[in-house]
Amino acid sequence: MKTLEEIAAQLEGYDPQSLPVAQVQAFLRELVSPIQETQDVDLLEGLNRILAGDLICPIDVPPHDNSAMDGYAFAGVQLDSPQPLSLRVAATAWAGRSTLATATIGPGECIKIMTGAVMPAGLDTVLPQELAQLSPDGLSVTVPANVLRRGDNRRLRGEDLQRGQAALRRGQRLAPAQLGLAASLGLSTLGVYRRLKVACFSTGDEIVLPGQAPREGAVYDSNRYTLIGLLQGLGCEVIDLGLVADDPAQLRATFERAAREADAIISSGGVSVGEADHTKAMMRELGDVVFWRVAMRPGRPMAVGRIKTAERSTVMFGLPGNPVAVMVTFLAFVRPALLQMMGCTDAPPPLLKARSAQNLRKKPGRTEYQRGWVDTDGQGQLQVRTTGDQGSGVLSSMDRANGLIVLHHMQGPVAQGQSVDVMMFGGVI
Ligand code: AMP
Ligand code: MG
């Protein structure tokens, strides 16, 4: 395992006093490694878990040729003639009931078939009910000319998934589609990585717990709530260590407990340059740690480190105190690092491109994450505007936003109408 110094030495032009966002991300990719422990979970407990091995199909899906429509199944070879085709209805095939004997269905005959029913061997085409002209006695149907091709409305065995094929890959995050897919293979459990344990606490003598009486000069702890929400959304097991006073003994006890119990520790506050507090001193005393000024806005000060105990090595993220900076640094750095630790190999969601509805000031040499609201203009094109005051303590700017406008490191000012990148907050699934 490389020391933090060794990781830093790999980064070209590494300057802890002005570290580009991309270098922070590169540093973290080196710092963290995936957990190894796996467990089997019930499919219904699998949402957001990370698959620990390739999932090989034990069966074909669908397991048999079947009808995609309610209608009449027949041998499509008879469609060669340009004339309407008249077929005698010889039997009925219901979904889930045993296959009809093939021998009974000859040329000039068809069977009435339900959606999902097994197609008897030799029959390969289905006339949908809505196109069928049934004779008055109900004993035969006419297939109109030129409405069907051989093979229409039949689902082939294995057309979704074939036995022996990898249906899902190790490292995939399980979303509803993946759970349904595993179920379609007849599986009721899946092998996943164990949940990542993440400890979280707030620091600062001015911070008080929500629910307590307000006092002069105090600020309510909001960071632990945004962070825990973000961690729960990722599917982590959260160890809530509450609010920790700026006191060496309490900080030591908190870091030591977190290092024993968690894979990662996230603290907020107390890492600013020149801050006269004990958080930084304790991180330094207990672990291998670096303190950075990141070339970004919001969220400049940040500490990253590692504490080792006999049982494990725990990654520390010391985030800034300002509430927007906490969320932004989490999304930009902590989230990808935690996903890597969780064993997730999914590509990050792509940034969205939207037209800026206004001019945006921006200096090259730092990355800015402005809170934005994306919607569509009168022509149906995506546009984005910032959500008012962009101060790093203005948490309401996050509430009013549905994404972050990412103004990249070397990017300059943006003129109204130019396209910008947006990291959207929510996907649908
Ligand atoms: P710091 O990085 O500790 O200097 O904190 C920067 C700013 O963030 C200060 O105004 C703090 O009051 C504020 N802050 C720190 N921790 C929290 C917290 N847990 N919840 C809300 N605001 C905080
Ligand atoms: Mg502080």
pLDDT digits (tens, 9 = 90+) for 165-190: 999 999 999 999 999 999 999 999 99
CA distance 321 to 201: 11
CA distance 273 to 287: 19
Q: What is the pLDDT of residue 99?
A: 64
For residues 24 and 333, the answer to whether their CB atoms sit within 8 Å is yes
Ligand nearest to the CA of 323: 1
Task: Tell me which residue has tokens 């090989």.
Answer: 56
Q: Which atom of ligand 1 is nearest to the CA of 320?
A: 2
Q: How far is the CA of 31 from the centre of ligand 1 (A)?
A: 26
> What value does the mean pLDDT take over residues 332-355?
97
Q: Which domains does the chain have, with CATH numbers?
A: 4-37+195-341 (3.40.980.10), 40-60+169-193 (3.90.105.10), 66-155 (2.170.190.11), 352-424 (2.40.340.10)
What sign for the dihedral angle of Cα 291, 292, 293, 299? Answer: negative
What mean pLDDT is reported for the chain? 94
> How far, CA to CA in Å, does 429 sit from each of 51, 168, 178, 404?
17, 17, 11, 19
Q: How far is the CA of 349 from the centre of ligand 1 (A)?
A: 30
Residues in the chain: 429
Ligand nearest to the CA of 302: 1
Instruction: List, as own/partner pairs, every contact residues 131-134 make where C-beta atoms lie below 8 angstroms and the sequence separation is at least 24, other chains included.
Output: 131/71, 132/71, 132/72
Ligand nearest to the CA of 301: 1
CA distance 122 to 412: 67
Ligand 1 neighbours (beta carbon < 6 A): 202, 204, 206-207, 219, 221-223, 268-270, 272, 275, 320-323, 393
pTM: 0.92
pLDDT tens-place string over residues 234-269: 999 999 999 998 889 999 999 999 999 999 999 999
Probe residue for ligand 1, chosen from 206, 219, 278 as the CB with the greatest number of ligand atoms within 8 Å? 219
- H helices of 185-239, in order, are 223-234
Probe residue for ligand 1, chosen from 200, 220, 223, 240 as the CB with the greatest number of ligand atoms within 8 Å? 223
Residue 215, classed as helix, strand or coil, is coil
Q: How far apart are the first and last CA of the chain?
A: 36
Q: How far is the CA of 218 from the centre of ligand 1 (A)?
A: 10
| Of 394, 357, 349, the residue nearest 375 (C-alpha) | 357
Radius of gyration of the chain (CA): 30
